[in-house]
Every structure is written in structure tokens, then in C-alpha cells.
Amino acid sequence: MVIFAFLMAVMPLAVAAQDNLGILRGFVYGEDGKKPLNDAMVLIRETTTERTYQSEKTKKNGAYKIEKLLPGTYAVGIQFKGKDYNVDALVQIKPKKQMACFTLPKALDEKPGYLVRCESVKCFFITPVGWALVAGATAGITYGIIKVVEKEVSPTGI
């Protein structure tokens, strides 16, 4: 019972601490800005504490993700084919998810890579069509439940 009470007191604190953390995710593209890079790694360094984080190597779609980041400003680098590239932009991490896509320079020995505007995909259910679908489905289900539950009632109870 004491353990249960302790867990009930501590769990909200752990959840609140995680709510303050950020996630950086996005894609790494090649020199054309369109072709995703396979086997690239995104590294970020917090500018005040110098703490460094890194992603797993990207897959065929070029996707990366770095989780459990404290809010702050981060310098970004990319490792690809044994070379390091600095990105000419700082990334601001806030609680929840941030999205950033990076493109390597035209020639792999040239200037640093750069940050490309990367739109996060809007959740379907937040769009007007999504709202209409949810409202329609809710109305249909409610109507179905009422029809199933609805019975003819006689005043005598027979």
C-alpha cells in the first residue's frame, strides 16, 4: 500500500517532467534538396551547456528523430559518409515536437549544409474535412444506438 501511494505521488511529477521535453525530427536530403539521404546521422549540441545528442542513422526515407531534449537553442551538424557538416542555422527546441529538415551542400566538400523549411504534416482530424468526418460518424453511431435501444413501450408494461 505504501509503494502504491508513493507511485501515485511521484508519477504525476515524472509525467510533468516529460511534458517539458522536446523532440526534434525531420528528414535529411541530398544536394538536390529532394533525394532523402540514407545512413546520415544528425547531431545537435545545446549552445549553453554543450551537451550533445545524436540520432540513429537515417533509413531510405532520410528520417531522423532525437527525443528527450531540454528546451533551448541547439547547433546542428550532419555526419554522412565519414564527413561532418555544420548547418548554418540554430534550432530552437520547445516542449513537444519540432520538425526540421536539412540539406547537404551541392558538393560534399563545399560550404556547410543548410536548414530547409520543413512543414509538419497536419493531422487529418484537425482539418475541416476531418472534423466533418468525426461529426458525421458520431451522429451516425448515436442514431444507430438510439434505434437499437428504442423499443415500443406499452402503458400496461405487457
pLDDT tens for 50-65 read 899 999 999 899 888 9
Q: What is the tens place of the pLDDT at every residue in 70-120? A: 988 888 888 888 888 887 778 888 887 677 776 766 544 445 554 444 444
The Cα–Cα gap between 103 and 106 comes to 9
The Cα–Cα gap between 7 and 59 comes to 39
The C-alpha cell 548547418 sits at: 87
Q: Can you give the residue ranges of every domain in the chain?
A: 2-116, 122-158
CB 84 within 8 A of CB 77: yes
The Cα–Cα gap between 100 and 118 comes to 6
Q: What is the tens place of the pLDDT at every residue in 107-153? A: 444 455 544 444 444 455 556 777 777 788 888 788 777 776 666 66
User: Where is pLDDT greater, at 131 or 157?
Assistant: 131
Going by C-beta distance under 8 Å and a sequence separation of 6 or more, which residues neighbour residue 146? none
CATH ID of 2-116, from 2.40.50.60, 3.60.15.10, 2.60.40.10, 3.40.50.300: 2.60.40.10
